Amino acid sequence: MRLLLHLALTTAIVLLSDVNGGSAGITSKFIRTEWPSIDIPLDNEAFAVPKGHNSPQQVHITQGDYDGKAVIISWVTPHEPGPSTVSYGTSADKFDFTAEGTVNNYTFYKYKSGYIHQCLVDGLEYDTKYYYKIGSGDSSREFWFQTPPKIDPDASYKFGIIGDLGQTYNSLSTLEHYMESGAQTVLFLGDLSYADRYQFIDVGVRWDSWGRFVERSAAYQPWIWSAGNHEIEYMTYMGEVVPFKSYLHRYPTPHLASKSSSPLWYAIRRASAHIIVLSSYSPFVKYTPQWEWLREELKKVDREKTPWLIVLMHVPIYNSNEAHFMEGESMRAAFESWFVRYKVDVVFAGHVHAYERSYRISNLHYNISSGDCFPVPDKSAPVYITVGDGGNQEGLAGKFRYPQPDYSAFREASYGHSTLEIKNRTHAFYHWNRNDDGKKVATDSFILHNQYWASNRRRRKLNKHYLRSVVGGLFA
């Protein structure tokens, strides 16, 4: 046992040094054989329409409250409204409860959407498998989901991280590999369907196909949504000038539960994590609603209950790729000091169609008159990770800037997804998995050390107990 403890501790120290800096960054030379970056044809089985007249389709769920005891279930009926009722229970053959939702639709140019149903199912028990049924008669469909464990600092939980997915064969590879990961909830980093790459009625058609595409996962576990630039859909030539119109009609979020004034930025707590979703394409400078909301939300974070503080955004703050270089600088100037002050553990972003992980660094001393413009190692800063490599039709961003900046720990232009497996209040296991010619390959992995408990004196008394739990995870 002493040997195992020593091995685990040594491994943790080596890997954590990679997070905090002090070693040369890696630019992977791997070049993968990829499928063409074109969308899958609409008649492909990946977009199959369920059988039955007016059968519910595009089913997806997201967290419906602040603490994980509710879900919002969404679906579309293509021909007529039908019932907006969800029947649910803890048995596959008996639905003891019902909840009533709402139904709406929208137009985009000459496209008219199906009937979009959204139903809040609340008052759920933690750590419980629920079965649910939607639709009516022979056209009804049944699914299930698992609620998270109760809010607790030592609740273990596994998140998946996907960004910029789209609906190509590469997208399908990413989604299928993710579904084999054992993760329980997706943290989605924006740019969903890439329907804005189309024109006229095809925009709406490709939103529908994407909803059917991700249903295989999103109907069974929550996807925590954030919006990217491809959700804006500001298309004046079609007379469409309301930003995020399709996205906001189709993908609700529990923003009111965190006192947000917009579905585009909000927060949830799940298991041992406090997750904050920001909007890169909504006003965020000082005194704007998003800025005011984030200032108050960060004050509410209780690291004694939810020690893991995770931020999601679309545009990366630190990015050494030629694609979208420096686009996140304005948000860095607005929020980076807060991320350091509140010891955010990790910031996930998409947008750049490649993978990159930073060391813990900050650039707080830079301003327009000081000239101190270089990031420096900072143990209080987050790790910044770009996972914009879901597989969309725009292809990979294969041109990194050279020399590789000191803050960049690892970077590679390949498709894939990540997982963050929280083990307890002190440690989490992170993996980036490359889609290597159709096979899932764990390429970048490390142990993430919790920022709050790393600097908390009480942690010294807990080291022995939690190190044993980490060893159990390493050698399970």
Check if the beta carbon of residue 321 is closer than 8 Å to that of residue 356. yes
CA–CA separation, 259 and 296 (whole Å): 10
Pairing of strands 439-449, 427-436: antiparallel
User: Average pLDDT, whole number, for the chain?
Assistant: 90
- Give the lowest-confidence range in 3-17, 124-138, 298-312, 330-344: 3-17
Instruction: List, for residues 264-289, the tens digit of each pLDDT value.
Output: 999 999 999 999 999 999 999 999 99
Helix (H, G, I), strand (E, B) or coil at 58: strand
Instruction: List, for residues 31-89, the tens digit of each pLDDT value.
Output: 555 567 899 999 999 999 999 999 999 999 999 999 999 999 999 999 999 999 999 99
Res 172 pLDDT > 80: yes
Res 441 pLDDT > 80: no
Q: What is each CA distance from 85 to 105, 175, 205, 222, 319, in whole angstroms?
A: 17, 29, 25, 19, 45
Laid out side by side, the sheet with 85-89 consists of 97-100, 85-89, 129-134, 141-146
Q: Which has more confidence, 366 or 279?
A: 279
pLDDT at position 11 is 40
Q: What is the pLDDT averaged over residues 398-415?
A: 94
CA–CA separation, 269 and 258 (whole Å): 10
List, as own/partner pairs, every contact residues 146-149 make where C-beta atoms lie below 8 angstroms and the sequence separation is at least 24, other chains included: 146/184, 146/221, 147/68, 147/69, 147/71, 148/68, 148/184, 148/185, 148/270, 148/271, 149/271
pLDDT at position 9 is 36
Res 113 pLDDT > 70: yes
Pairing of strands 223-224, 185-188: parallel
Split at pLDDT 50, 70, 90, the class of 475 is: very low
Pairing of strands 361-362, 416-422: unpaired
pLDDT at position 25 is 83
Q: What secondary structure does DSSP assign to 290-330, as a single string?
A: HHHHHHHHHHH--TTT--EEEEE-SS-SS--BSTTTTTTHH
Q: What is the pLDDT averaged over residues 176-202?
A: 97
Instruction: List, for residues 283-314, the tens digit of each pLDDT value.
Output: 999 999 999 999 999 999 999 999 999 999 99
- Listed in sequence order, the residues at least 6 apart from 369 whose beta carbon sits closer than 8 Å to its beta carbon are none
Q: What is the DSSP letter of 74?
A: E
pLDDT at position 252 is 98
Q: What is each CA distance from 186 to 163, 265, 367, 399, in whole angstroms?
A: 10, 17, 36, 28
Res 3 pLDDT > 60: no
Q: What is the pLDDT averaged over residues 324-347?
A: 97
Res 114 pLDDT > 60: yes
Split at pLDDT 50, 70, 90, the class of 14 is: very low
Q: What is the CA radius of gyration of the chain?
A: 22
- Give the lowest-confidence range in 2-16, 387-401, 426-440: 2-16
Please give the positions annotated as active site. 324
CA–CA separation, 449 and 428 (whole Å): 7
- Give the lowest-confidence range in 32-41, 118-127, 362-371: 32-41
Check if the beta carbon of residue 401 is closer than 8 Å to that of residue 143. no
Instruction: List, for residues 85-95, the tens digit of each pLDDT value.
Output: 999 999 999 99
Of 407, 406, 386, 405, which Cα lies nearest the Cα of 397? 386
- Give the lowest-confidence range in 22-31, 74-83, 255-264, 392-401: 22-31
pLDDT at position 67 is 98
